[in-house]
Amino acid sequence: MKNKKKYSWRIAYINGKFTKYREKDFWRLGPMKNLPVLFSLSLVMFVGIILTVVFR
């Protein structure tokens, strides 16, 4: 079964009114969607640090 949901819908206050828009950011659509933002960013940071040390 294919995933029909390609975008996340968000409500934002833009130009003095609330509007509904599609969030096209792949970061919040994948497995990171269920994780808090700071936790997911820190995971990426630690993986980057580990890869930097290993491949230095």
Q: Which residues contact 44 (CB under 8 A, 6 or more apart)?
A: none
Check the CA dihedral 48-49-54-55 and report its sign: positive
| pLDDT score for 25 | 64
Query: And the tokens for 51?
Result: 């890869």
pLDDT attached to residue 1: 44
Per-residue model confidence (pLDDT) at position 27: 62
Contact in structure between 25 and 12 (CB atoms under 8 Å): no
Predicted local distance difference test score (pLDDT) of residue 54? 96
* Region for 16 from its dihedrals, namely left if φ exceeds 0, alpha if ψ lies in -120 to 50, beta otherwise: left
* pLDDT (0 to 100) of residue 22: 74
Amino acid type, 53: V
Q: How high is the mean pLDDT in each 10-residue block of the chain (56 residues)?
A: 60 83 66 76 93 94
